[in-house]
Chains A and B, each alone.
Chain A
Amino acid sequence: MSNIFIKRTIALIATLLAITFLTFVVSYLSPGDPAEIKLSKTGMPPSPEVIEETRKAMGLDRPLPVQYFSWLKGILKGDMGVSHRTGQNVSAVLGKAFPKTLTIALSTVLLTTLIAIPIALLCVRYTDSLFDRVIQSTTYMFVSMPSFIVGLVLLYVLAVRLHWFSVTPGQGLKGYVMPVSVLVLSMSSWYIRQMRTIFSNQWSMDYVAGLIAKGISKRRVLHRHVLKNSLVPIITLLGNSFATLMVGATIVENIFSVPGIGHVAIEAVLNRDYPVIQGFVLWTAIIYILINFLIDRTYSVIDPRIRLRKGETL
């Protein structure tokens, strides 16, 4: 165990602290008084005295560093504060949204991998064929299309025209079909393009020419060698996508009314519910750092060259 590990851990903690501090300061400086917002929800215009009292009750009259440290202390105990809007515990709100987002993120990444890798392999094997060109233009179209448009088109075709789904959100597994389809369509298009580039780069390397000269079939070279050598960049990309989805597939959650993390975040933002926004940002930071750490680990598992190189430096 080494200097590198200790250094990384310190950098990690520093990053997290910097993020918490920044979030806190920006919320603190931003216009709009949470006390006033909370009171205006009751429908009555509050008097200045009532606002002052509420501010005190919410701890908003204390100086910035005091507020920050009391917030930080709470977080270390797993307490992210309560929502200004609903009075619910922020950890509970995020915890409730988590399984929904996890379902979306996992199924999207799995389906995208299953769809994109075979298609990209075929594109490289039959470069410039009709199949390749059709895939190229279709994916170009989906990459250029904002996901909310893909979502609305799907909603129109499947719900309004074909009546396969209801326009209002479905319960249970059926409610996930449309949001996941939208994400898979957009994401696999992007991935097919990326993977095609990665595979083609490998395909033009000397070792491929060597293997083919030895009489090994193209198919086998692609599946056995090209795919294996492309795994590191692909896993990095997929890991990043997974992390992005984990912090909220905001747009589709919004269109299809899935109460996931992204939905919670948007609700909080529109209502200036700072504790929830702060919880969301912290959540994002933790998810990102964790997933990147895991991706880093997998490199040495799948690629012995990286394992050996690390062995030398450590």
Chain B
Amino acid sequence: MIHKGKRLFLIAMVFAMLWLALFGQYLAPNDPYETNLAMTLHKPVAQYPFGTDQLGRCIFSRLLAGVRISVFASVTVVLIVFVIGTCIGIFAGFLGGKVDVFLMRITVLVQAFPAFVLAIAIAGMIGPGLKNAILSMVLIYWTTYARLGRSLVLQVKSQNYVKAAQLCGAGKVAIIFRYILPNMIDALVVTAALDIGTVIIQLASLSFLGLGAQPPVIEWGSMINASRQYMQVAPWYVFFPSLILFVIVVLHNKMADYLNEGLEEGKVI
């Protein structure tokens, strides 16, 4: 059981992050794109709290501008796979028969491979870029929700209240939306919350390898990639983006752990 104070703290942090994602760029002390060739790779000073990069751009401002990309891209991926995967899972589980076999074959085929390798292969074949990185993550992660959704549907479907609804003449659509979906959504939401941290890491990793966001888009993974050749002269350039990325992922994981515990205790919030 998570302590109440800790719970409030976590909720506050998640809201703070969302707020930063929405308005972070307006807090930036400097223009994240503005170069200052007199101050390249400068150590942190009052004007540039986190120092500057190889073109004299403010690292702090760039990190703030990057929250939007990193957080929104990951949330987008998870939202899309959540909807698509759950729909496929419900179809497969509810309809059964050949549809089920076919959909599950595809799921197993996709899941047979390590997600990151598939993401590299797909991003590689359709070309590097943030949109394509998102697309490749979507193509991989829907399987989790399809399988989980399907198994949950099968569990719920055999419950007496669903049979009762069928006997009362409820239509298929009504049964899915009014009786099945509400009874399975919790587990799926927790999975989605857990996935956000993973997706942030994987998107940043793709960008780090040069397969995700391309300049001038500001993304943490590609910032860290650009920074590593200046590691000897400007360690702060590597340090701050890495730290922020790490903190965001830990926050997400903690939040997901909390949701998970709540689910196990039978209530989410």
A residues in contact with B123, CB < 8 Å: 269
The smallest beta-carbon distance between B187 and chain A, in angstroms, is 18
Contact B120 A265 (CB under 8 A): yes
Could you tell me which residues of chain B, from 172 to 224, have a CB within 8 Å of some CB in chain A? 197, 201, 204-205, 208-211, 221, 224
A31 to B132, CA, bound (A): 12
Closest-by-CB residue of B relative to A243 is: B114
- Give the size category of A's interface with B: 35 or more
Q: Which of B116, B205, B231, B246 contacts A160 (CB 8 A)?
A: B231
Against B, the Cβ 8 Å flags (1 = close, 0 = not) of A233-245 are: 0000000100110
- The reply to whether A31 and B117 form a contact with Cβ atoms under 8 Å apart is no
Given contacts A145-B246, A146-B201, A254-B209, contact A268 B117 (CB under 8 A): no
The answer to whether B121 touches A160, judged by C-beta atoms less than 8 angstroms apart, is no
Q: Taking A15-B109, A30-B125, A146-B201 as contacts, is the C-beta distance between A250 and B209 under 8 angstroms? A: yes
For the complex, is A32 an interface residue (Cβ under 8 Å from B)?
Answer: yes
Is B224 within 8 A of A148, CB to CB?
yes
Do B209 and A251 touch across chains, with their CB atoms under 8 A apart? yes
The residues of B that contact A292 with a CB separation of less than 8 Å are: 112
| Chain B interfacial residues counted at CB < 8 A | 36
Contact A269 B109 (CB under 8 A): no
In the bound complex, residues from chain A placing their C-beta under 8 Å from that of B109 are: 15, 18-19
B 80-117 binary contact with A (CB < 8 Å = 1; else 0):
00000000000000000000000000000100111011
How far, in whole Å, are A153 and B231 apart by their CA atoms in the complex? 10
A146 touches B249 (CB 8 A): yes
Q: Which residues of A lie under 8 Å from residue B235 when comparing CB positions?
A: 156, 160
Assess the B197–A284 pair: CB atoms within 8 A.
no
- Residues of B229-256 at the interface with A, using a CB-CB cut-off of 8 Å, are 231-232, 235, 238, 242, 245-246, 249-250, 253
B231 partner residues in chain A, CB cutoff 8 A? 152, 155-156, 160, 167
Whether A167 pairs with B232 at a CB distance below 8 angstroms is yes
**Does the CB pair B121–A152 fall under 8 Å?**
no
A267-281: CB near B (< 8 Å → 1, else 0) gives: 011101010010011
A17 to B209 alpha-carbon distance, docked (Å): 29
| Given the contacts A26-B126, A269-B123, A269-B128, A146 and B245 also touching, CB distance less than 8 Å | yes
The CA of A281 and the CA of B119, in the complex, are separated in Å by 11
Q: Are the C-beta atoms of B120 and A149 separated by less than 8 Å? A: no
B238:A244 contact, CB within 8 angstroms: no
Of the candidates B126, B210, B238, which one forms a contact with A270 in the assembled complex, judged by CB atoms under 8 Å apart? B210
CA distance A30 to B124 in the complex (A): 9
Given contact pairs A243-B114, A251-B205, A265 touches B124 in the complex (Cβ within 8 A)? yes
Mind listing 17 A-B residue pairs with CB under 8 Å? A19-B109, A26-B125, A27-B125, A145-B246, A146-B246, A149-B224, A152-B224, A244-B116, A250-B120, A250-B209, A254-B208, A265-B121, A269-B124, A277-B121, A281-B121, A284-B121, A288-B114
Q: Considering the complex of A and B, which 6 residue pairs feature the smallest CB-CB distances, nearest first?
A: A269-B124, A244-B114, A26-B125, A149-B242, A146-B201, A144-B250
**Chain A interface residues (CB < 8 Å from chain B):** 15, 18-19, 23, 26-27, 30-32, 140-141, 143-149, 152-153, 155-156, 160, 167, 240, 243-244, 247-248, 250-251, 254-255, 265-266, 268-270, 272, 274, 277, 280-281, 284-285, 288-289, 292
